[in-house]
Amino acid sequence: MKIATLNINNINRRLDNLLAWLRAAKPDIVCLQELKAADNEFPFKAIEKAGYAAVWRGQKSWNGVAILSRKSEPVLTRTELPGDRHDHEARYIEAAVSGIIIGCIYAPNGNPQPGPKFDYKLDWLRRLRLHAARLLKQDLPVALAGDYNVAPTPLDIYATRSWDKDALIQPQSRAAFASLVAQGWTDAIRSLHPSKPMFTFWHYTRNRFARDAGLRLDHLLLSPRLAPRLDKAGVDRKVRGEDGASDHAPAWVVLD
């Protein structure tokens, strides 16, 4: 079983790119973030024609998350992260797919920091940790996949000082991610590639992709029930270099 995550950065604008990657990579389950489309703008017919069923939660112009499944119909279990009834941003969706609970995550960016946006990021990650702990207590096979908007360690960002004040690499952001993993989750890509950068994001400006000036922001965390099945993990880096591509590349795992 192949599970992938991709921040698509506007699903309708990059639909051709998405469909081409689906044909080539053939993932069984896909988590998409930053749809930038309202619910009624989600290109369900094109996704269905490509062989995938889907559940999604859209938001006009911003955010938006979706789960696609090639082999079975995803059973929607949650459309928001619990813990704040006033938070209406489309950043979390959860479904049961082929015997696995899939949580699709689009964590807040948090910039500029310090300030309200950074406070929201840290609180959102706190709520994610609480929900993740509840999932672990159920002793289920779970994958939490998506754009966490955190580069967890210096290995996860190219050598630079230009991002020092960015919310993506602040000590509080990294501590929040580390605390989540410490619950018992396996950072799948890092566990199989302990010494390689494995970047998943390259900003459009300053020729960063060509210079490999990237960050690893997209992660797949596996619960203890699922982690023993981990066989392979990687990043489809070449997808980022295609015409019209998102600024993120797909990250993926293969499970026995």
Q: What is the DSSP string of the chain?
A: -EEEEEE-SSTTTTHHHHHHHHHHH--SEEEEE---S-GGGS-HHHHHHTT-EEEEE--TTS--EEEEESSS--EEEESS-SS-TT-----EEEEEETTEEEEEEE-----SSSSHHHHHHHHHHHHHHHHHHHHHHTT--EEEEEE-----SGGGB-S-STTTT-GGG-HHHHHHHHHHHTTT-EEHHHHH-TTS----B--SGGGTTTTT--B--EEEEE-TTTGGGEEEEEE-GGGGGSTT--SB--EEEEE-
DSSP-assigned beta bridge partners for residue 235: 251
- Per-residue pLDDT reduced to its tens digit, 10-43: 999 999 999 999 999 999 999 999 999 999 999 9
pLDDT of residue 34: 98
- Per-residue pLDDT reduced to its tens digit, 204-231: 999 999 999 999 999 999 999 999 999 9
- Confidence class of residue 51 from pLDDT cuts 50, 70 and 90? very high
Q: Decide: 236 and 23 in contact? Cβ < 8 Å.
A: no
Contacts of 59 (CB under 8 A, 6+ apart): 35, 36, 37, 38, 89, 90
What is the C-alpha to C-alpha distance for residues 199 and 96, in angstroms, rounded to an integer? 28
Closest by Cα among 216, 234, 225 to 177:
216
pLDDT of residue 136: 98
pLDDT of residue 189: 98
Q: Is the pTM of this model over 0.85?
A: yes
pLDDT of residue 155: 98
- Confidence class of residue 152 from pLDDT cuts 50, 70 and 90? very high
- Per-residue pLDDT reduced to its tens digit, 171-205: 999 999 999 999 999 999 999 999 999 999 999 99
pLDDT of residue 158: 98
pLDDT of residue 239: 98
- Confidence class of residue 148 from pLDDT cuts 50, 70 and 90? very high
pLDDT of residue 133: 98
Complete domains list, the chain, with CATH:
2-255 (3.60.10.10)
- What percentage of residues in the chain have a pLDDT greater than 90? 100
pLDDT of residue 54: 98
Helix axes 171-181, 116-137, angle to 10 degrees: 10
